[in-house]
Structure 1
Amino acid sequence: MPNSIKTLLLGSVLAASFSGYASAQDAETDDEAVQETVVITGARGQPRSIADSPVPIDVFSEETIKGVSYVDTNDVLKTLVPSYSLSRQPISDGGTFIRPASLRGMPTDKTLVLVNSKRRHRAALVSIGGSGTQGPDVATIPSTALKAVEVLRDGAAAQYGSDAIAGVINFILKDNAEGVTLTAQTGQYYEGDGTEYILAGNIGLPIGQDGFLSISGEYSDAEATSRSVPYCEAWACTDVNDPSFPGPIDTTIAGYDPDAYIAGLSAANIGFGDVVQPWGQPEASGFRLFYNAGYDLGFGELYSFGNYSTSEADGSFFYRFPGNGTIENLRLEDGSLWSPLFFFPGGFTPRFFGEVIDYSVVGGIKGETEGGFTWDLSGRYGHNEIQYTLKNTVNPSLGDMSPTSFHPGDLINEEIQLQADFTQSFDTGLASPLLFGFGLSYLDESYELVGGDAASYAAGPYAGQDPWGFCNAGAPTAAGLAVMAGGSSLDCSDPNDAVYTVVGVGSNGFPGYSPEFSGEYTRDSYAAYVDLSADITDALFLQGAMRFEDYSDFDSELVWKVAGRYEFTPGFAMRGSVGTGFRAPTPGQQGTTNVSTRLPNGFPVATGLFPASGPVAQALGAEPLDPEKSTNYTLGFTSNWDSFSLTVDAYQIDLEDRVNAISTQDVSTDPTSGAAYDNYLALVDAGVAGAESIGGVFYFTNAFDTTTKGVDIVGTYATSFYAGADTSFIASLNYNKTEFDGDVDALFNAEDQFDFENGTPKWRGAFTVTHAFGPFSVLGRANYYGKYENSDSGGAAGLIQEFDPVVMFDVEGSWQATDAVKLSVGARNIFDEYPDEADPAIGDSCCGRIYRSDSEVDWQGGFYYAKVTAEF
């Protein structure tokens, strides 16, 4: 065991001694009920209690889940699990619709998501930048369908396979055969926007005498928010009261008229008035349906569960101002001047719309023989699709023939899996029977980029200079003389004449998937595992697992894990584990491509992401992706004293060959720009249409090794201060720090290195108190975010902003008005706290932004709501 783990554990114990109380498990007034809560995640065969588990597991009951007022199940987890992080992603392409999360500092795709202990299929979105994470869309699982959530905070790839590096989240569905629950909720942010409506329900139905069908549905609708100021930068300012208005805007651009420009600003971005580039949560709506069914056949249970969900959201891209490279003068075929200002007098902000369609079905049969042999045969199918629409924009290369609405394409992820799991117990003379688990799996995966409409990727006539042949060697041709005779201002001798202007290709903001970058990527894999566990003595429990997987696109992998627990006294036990893990890059990570507007140097430029194994990235020096490999260590203790329980678990995750995007490489058509010009030539040689309009390129690679160290402090306390009243205290605290293990200068600039290691809070805590008395109950929760930093140029010039810690308080009061009806009112972030504003000198407050838009600390402000629940 590394010395760093031992040091961290000692610090954890000292911190715990001052914590008063801490835990993430549900607290109840009955202490025995707390200790005997059983979990099925991480175990084979007979479930174990939370306290008896050799690895840290949080269990959240249906009541605890109901106590969180968010719509998105992602937000529910963020509230309950401090090591689970989530950020809002405005102006982030598909990240606007499917938000990536992390557990223990690891991206979404390094946490395995299960539903009823079966693997959940991935979303179609591959995040642009960072790790390129592609994980399941947890938001498709409505919280109203959940009976419980189990969070295994430990590596478990040897038990469950690829992705389970940081941990496992298992969503347990309701299995009621009767009863109806209906919930209606509405709320609004203190700022007066973001009004939200939620309707949810569950019904349990019997299937004969021995079966059940539980159906849960949820509809939500949320308006957009804006935490923005008018766009006013050195290169363009839209604030008519600012002395620099209209700033350096080129007033010679065709169609530019000051009055029309001012009047057009309110229409530049649909629905946000004078804020041409809003920063906030998107407008979103969704319908989500889940079912869970089972039937006892006598010799076994036939089961099935599945879902259907559809959701829509829309967000903005960066504002396009006159002269920004998109709104430029072009020479039309008749020699006249034209610019997109004829379409959008105030410039424009592309609007991005996404519809996410998700459905799945799982079916199987399981049972147990009289000899203790258990079997479970199952199959599953999962489908996730994102259909994109882009409005309020143009394909600049098409000029005046461009549409202003596009379908840039779709993304589809599909999975089919067959699984067989077995256990058999043997009496070997140990304190408990030896449990032998084993299983087989086959998984088929596909990822498809569906091509967009032709106009969304077409290289129109203005993708090159002088498309109509007006000039030759600085002098007009016959065609040029003809349009000049007709009154054109054409001047072939002027290198700045619009006849030589080259503009971007494809729907601006998100070019469509062309046939060259469309297609389907597939693979399959086989796996086999074994798992042994037993109580060696009354005090010592040991567990070991090994798993072999073989992928059609990678070599085979063999991983293992050993875990144990030793009980010194009935109230105190030590536990720990060590194991290896892996994650095979998904077909989506290997095949995705994207050109979008990013800010690699603080200024918006078109930036291209290309597949590491494709010709474009290969020309830039990329190599095909390899699997990521990990070694996990945990060491901790559990303790119980009457109504108080405390667990402390230190961990270390060594991750090799971590997949990440390289720092954006500059691209320039200027032959004197060195490497930037070489990148441009590489794009041209690879056949990239519109290479002249791309200002940066990057790709995913096995970039570096990291070491993540942390500690989870978790505890509960339950008491009754007076007759008829019950009070519970639940608190949890997480410390997490990730550092590079080795030199990464060849792939990352100083700023990216600094922000990777320091850009998120290292401390995160959630502290909850619930008090029930008669028909009334009150919930209070404090969400703590520690300090973090952000830099410009890696802080080399002293440009580092330190963000202060933030505590946000939630309060909810409920009244059980009748046996069936419960009324609740509450507020999230009741004191309307915000993180520190982004320092303009650092560069992350560009373009109307007030706060770091990717901050894990929520920057929407206070939110109040009312809710009514009826149970029959």
Structure 2
Amino acid sequence: MTTHKNKGFGVSALSFAISLALTGSLASTQALADDQQAEASQNIEKIAVVGTRSAPRSIGDSPVPIDIISSDDLKKNGSTDMIDMLVTTVPSFNSRAQPISDAATLIRPVNLRGLPSDSTLVLVNGKRRHRASVIAFQGGGINDGAQGPDISVIPSAALKQVEVLRDGAAAQYGSDAIAGVMNFVLKDDAEGGSITVGQGEYYEGDGATTTIDANVGLPLSDAGFVNLSLQYKNADATSRSMQRPDAANLIEQGNTFVQDPAQVWGNPEIKDDYSFFLNSGYDINDNARLYAFGNLSSRDVVGGFYYRNPHNRGNVYSLDGGETLLVGAVNGDPSTCAVVPIPKNADGSDGNVLETDAYKAMLADPNCFAMNQLRPGGYTPQFAGTVEDTSFFAGVKGELGAWNYDFSAGMGNNKSTFSLKNSLNPSLGLDTPTDFETGAYEQAETTVNLDFSRMLTLGSVEDISFATGFEWREESFEITQGEEASWIAGPYADQGFNIGSHGFKGFGPESAGKNSRNNIGVYADMEAYLGERWLLGAALRYEDFSTFGDTLNYKLTAQFTATDDLSFRASHSTGFRAPTVGQENVVNTQTSIVNGDLIQTFIAPPTDPLSAFYGGKVLKPEESVSYALGAVFEHENLFVTLDYYNIEVTGRIAQSSQIEVEAKDYDALRAAGVEFPELISAVTYYTNDFDTTTQGIDLVASYDTQLLSGDTKFSLAYGWTDTSVDKYNPNTTDEGKVRRLEDGIPAHRATLTWAQSWDRFSMSLRGNYFGEYYATHADDTSDWGSEMADSAVTVDLELSYQFLDSLTVSIGANNLFDQEAQKLKDGTRGELGAIYYESGPFDYNGGYYYGRVNYRF
């Protein structure tokens, strides 16, 4: 077979790498070293292009902090979710599970350096990755309202490495790079491949997950390659639940229609989760190369919702908190139906209304009805969705005289189609369906880049790297209407019955539609060595958006080499994050918990009449100023970096706290065009309503040695993150949200890894430390549902044995010693069917064991 791996495509290693680094283009790293160097060394120094538009360099020579995680490093984890893999590897990178969180159950939000997921720019082969269509309406404080890319669709089998730039880079790459940049570099092998089959489940015996992934490299004549990757996965749901006291009481009182447990807290079920990635390149001649890459991904997710108590759920079963049933009248006059009281026991608990004479009399009256007739034991809706993700980029790069160029165009699309099972549209009365197709969100983006670079000499300064380029981008956010029964106001809405599918109202014709915007960006970037010790860089970027105007940002970097082993680095930059089209136009209905009570909250665009009545305004971009100082020490087999950062963000965009819709405002709201305001408990909208300062320290260290007659590597990643809210609007941001922003993630995070290998046997042992954090239950920041959680340590272990040159078997466990997540307080535990806080920094499901077989060819 013809070998194509790392050929260089006829362009010198240096000039080709510069063309790769142009644009935000970071492209592939296959030309970072030539064949002879790669074959001559078993210990290749890690090389990156992220963070610079000059020639790629080792991460120790970078003026900004960079992590490089290889594909093999990512696989040393029982999880097959890219988010979980990165959490255990990158300092200051965090995520949390979303057991009951509407659409965020489908796509988990993440954060880098204490900032939301849409403050980190995500690239694939150096090209901007499109956003997910899902917006994290209940994102654990930091991510409330964030709309970042869905990186979980990227399988580790498709990756050569991941480059993480932990520094503000909006002046280099545009919007969303306030916290940093993550570049996923796809494999570029032209031969060989692998097949991996993995199986695992939690110690509790649930959450069984089966994963099959494969990768193959194929030559494209002698001048190119096609690399294909596929992952297919199914994961069962988990349950970390206990029976709710109210449900247990109903069973005790003789209501045989209540489930046990009535409500499930746990991971959603994931079915038919597949992701296909393609990466390809072709050398036209010595001066030009074509490339293309893309993906096709899909998954079905089914998650849980809150239990609806058949005595007191507002606007379904009662209007007075469970004193009497909500009884509807077919003739439109509720006064013609008798009152049905909820019986009370001597201790104040509910009796069984189904056995009362008043209820039986209501059933006998053909003019009267209650939703208990359809769901006598209450009900727990199931939220389901299908996420479809596609992308394709193509371009040409090469040399034109002294200039390197890169021209590319691409598109990305993410669509989430929602449905609700086991629910009701109470306003339709007894004629309501119980399953609903509630509509869809769709995010689409198109990007065109044209970039140039060359080396210049100015006076006595030689080898100045100069880059400039242009970017045009268009993005749209579309809401597709749900089926009529999911949103319509039925004939009993004016009698107090809830409108639309309960728990997640379908998107009606007033919500459906498509909104778009476009922007252009122009940048210039220079970097040069002054003498042998100083490396200086500067970048300037101008962007103009069709919706809110323009912005100009800059970045300055410097590195001073003090000795052969020690260097110091610094950066200063301004940045911005444009409000997404989704944040400007999204409509939704969510169920929130305040002081233990479920309330229906309507999310409206900031300029909607309802939002505007309570202070909503047109969104503006966030603006940031960041500083960083660091040091790099390299001596023989020891590598250490220590970096301090400070990021000030003004006008941060986030979902407001719930604003109560008060009875005194009903008439004015109706006059403004709001329908049935009496059925809306609260409203939230997106707003620029607070400023923050986030500072922190990242420490990364590694040491290679010989131990126990084998090769040994110790790795440490430690992050300290501190966020303070400098200013906020108390009308839209409450103190509970401020506390989540400041303390919602651990201030201290660390991982210590011991990797050991012998001839055929290898081991990876990792300890994970999570410091104290502010734990909330179901986004409830009252004293009832929140507290400071204790620090914790988890341990991960993987053992691998190479039976044949091509066959490796691995077994392992995440959270080996089954460290429990923070339990809810005694007065809260079980009240909503849960045992643990959902907002923890590590998996509340407990220990997980797995096995994996890998065959290489």
TM-score after normalising by structure 1:
0.85
* One-letter amino acid of the counterpart of residue 306, structure 2: F
In structure 2, the residue matched to 1:291 is 278
Q: Which runs of 5+ in 2 are unaligned?
A: 1-38, 318-325, 332-364
Instruction: Provide the rounded CA distance (Å) in 2 between the counterparts of 1:860 and 1:799.
Output: 20
1:288-367 equivalences under 5 Å are 288-298=275-285, 299-323=287-311, 324-325=313-314, 326-327=316-317, 328-333=326-331, 335-367=366-398
1:551 maps to 2:564? no
In structure 2, the residue matched to 1:423 is 453
In the alignment, is the contact (CA less than 8 A) between 1:720 and 1:726 conserved in 2? yes
* One-letter amino acid of the counterpart of residue 77, structure 2: V
Instruction: Provide the rounded CA distance (Å) in 2 between the counterparts of 1:230 and 1:82.
Output: 38
Shift of 1:126: 1.5
In the alignment, is the contact (CA less than 8 A) between 2:663 and 2:678 conserved in 1? no
Deviations 1:444-503 (CA, angstroms, capped at 9, x unpaired): 1100011111111100011013xxxxxxxxxxxxxxxxxxxxxxxxxxxxxxxxxxxx11
In structure 1, the residue matched to 2:818 is 832
1:356-755 equivalences under 5 Å are 356-369=387-400, 371=402, 373-428=403-458, 432-465=462-495, 502-667=496-661, 676-721=662-707, 723=709, 725-755=710-740
Instruction: Provide the rounded CA distance (Å) in 2 between the counterparts of 1:462 and 1:653.
Output: 52
Match of 1:71 among 34, 58, 80: 80
Shift of 1:588: 0.2
Instruction: Provide the rounded CA distance (Å) in 2 between the counterparts of 1:818 and 1:807.
Output: 36
Match of 2:227 among 210, 214, 230: 214
Instruction: Provide the rounded CA distance (Å) in 2 between the counterparts of 1:114 and 1:770.
Output: 29
* One-letter amino acid of the counterpart of residue 570, structure 2: G
1:125 maps to 2:134? yes
Shift of 1:731: 0.8
* One-letter amino acid of the counterpart of residue 141, structure 1: I
Q: How many residues align?
A: 769
1:756 maps to 2:744? no
In the alignment, is the contact (CA less than 8 A) between 1:769 and 1:781 conserved in 2? yes
In structure 2, the residue matched to 1:194 is 207
Shift of 1:797: 7.8
Deviates more, 1:849-858 or 1:82-91: 849-858
* One-letter amino acid of the counterpart of residue 807, structure 1: V
In structure 2, the residue matched to 1:55 is 64
With over 3 angstroms needed to count, the CA separation of the structure-2 counterparts of 1:35 and 1:816, relative to structure 1, is closer
Instruction: Provide the rounded CA distance (Å) in 2 between the counterparts of 1:727 and 1:430.
Output: 46
Match of 1:279 among 240, 265, 283: 265
* One-letter amino acid of the counterpart of residue 202, structure 1: N
In the alignment, is the contact (CA less than 8 A) between 1:752 and 1:794 conserved in 2? no
Shift of 1:343: 2.4
Deviations 1:725-758 (CA, angstroms, capped at 9, x unpaired): 1010111000001111135434322322223212
Match of 2:258 among 243, 255, 265: 265
Shift of 1:370: 5.5
The alignment-based identity, stated in percent, is: 39
* One-letter amino acid of the counterpart of residue 730, structure 2: D
Shift of 1:768: 0.8
With over 3 angstroms needed to count, the CA separation of the structure-2 counterparts of 1:375 and 1:144, relative to structure 1, is same
In structure 2, the residue matched to 1:23 is none
Deviations 1:531-551 (CA, angstroms, capped at 9, x unpaired): 000111111001100000000
Shift of 1:430: 5.4
Instruction: Provide the rounded CA distance (Å) in 1 between the counterparts of 2:826 and 2:590.
Output: 23
1:804-823 equivalences under 5 Å are 804-823=790-809
Shift of 1:180: 1.9
With over 3 angstroms needed to count, the CA separation of the structure-2 counterparts of 1:600 and 1:296, relative to structure 1, is same
Instruction: Provide the rounded CA distance (Å) in 2 between the counterparts of 1:300 and 1:336.
Output: 79
Instruction: Provide the rounded CA distance (Å) in 1 between the counterparts of 2:388 and 2:394.
Output: 21
Deviations 1:592-622 (CA, angstroms, capped at 9, x unpaired): 0111211133210111111102222112221
In the TM superposition, structure 1's runs of 4+ consecutive aligned residues that sit over 6 Å from their partners are: 30-35, 791-800
* One-letter amino acid of the counterpart of residue 730, structure 1: S
Shift of 1:381: 0.6
Deviations 1:796-826 (CA, angstroms, capped at 9, x unpaired): 9899732111110000100000011000110
With over 3 angstroms needed to count, the CA separation of the structure-2 counterparts of 1:755 and 1:679, relative to structure 1, is farther
**1:660 aligned counterpart, secondary structure:** strand
Instruction: Provide the rounded CA distance (Å) in 2 between the counterparts of 1:794 and 1:137.
Output: 26
Instruction: Provide the rounded CA distance (Å) in 2 between the counterparts of 1:108 and 1:200.
Output: 27
1:244-259 equivalences under 5 Å are 244-245=249-250, 259=254
Deviations 1:393-437 (CA, angstroms, capped at 9, x unpaired): 110000011111111101000011110111010133656500110
Instruction: Provide the rounded CA distance (Å) in 1 between the counterparts of 2:850 and 2:809.
Output: 11
**1:397 aligned counterpart, secondary structure:** helix
With over 3 angstroms needed to count, the CA separation of the structure-2 counterparts of 1:839 and 1:683, relative to structure 1, is farther
Instruction: Provide the rounded CA distance (Å) in 2 between the counterparts of 1:392 and 1:353.
Output: 11
Instruction: Provide the rounded CA distance (Å) in 2 between the counterparts of 1:33 and 1:746.
Output: 60
In structure 1, the residue matched to 2:355 is none
In the alignment, is the contact (CA less than 8 A) between 2:823 and 2:836 conserved in 1? yes
In the alignment, is the contact (CA less than 8 A) between 1:750 and 1:794 conserved in 2? no
In the alignment, is the contact (CA less than 8 A) between 2:201 and 2:848 conserved in 1? yes
With over 3 angstroms needed to count, the CA separation of the structure-2 counterparts of 1:343 and 1:786, relative to structure 1, is same
TM-score after normalising by structure 2:
0.87
In the alignment, is the contact (CA less than 8 A) between 2:310 and 2:376 conserved in 1? no
Deviates more, 1:383-392 or 1:854-863: 854-863
**Higher RCO structure (Cα 8 Å, ≥6 apart):** 1
Shift of 1:567: 0.4
**2:698 aligned counterpart, secondary structure:** strand
Instruction: Provide the rounded CA distance (Å) in 2 between the counterparts of 1:376 and 1:758.
Output: 44
In the alignment, is the contact (CA less than 8 A) between 1:294 and 1:301 conserved in 2? yes
Shift of 1:81: 1.0
**1:767 aligned counterpart, secondary structure:** strand
In the alignment, is the contact (CA less than 8 A) between 1:162 and 1:584 conserved in 2? yes
In the alignment, is the contact (CA less than 8 A) between 2:63 and 2:557 conserved in 1? yes
**1:461 aligned counterpart, secondary structure:** coil
Instruction: Provide the rounded CA distance (Å) in 2 between the counterparts of 1:807 and 1:813.
Output: 20
With over 3 angstroms needed to count, the CA separation of the structure-2 counterparts of 1:339 and 1:795, relative to structure 1, is closer
**1:848 aligned counterpart, secondary structure:** coil
Instruction: Provide the rounded CA distance (Å) in 2 between the counterparts of 1:840 and 1:382.
Output: 47
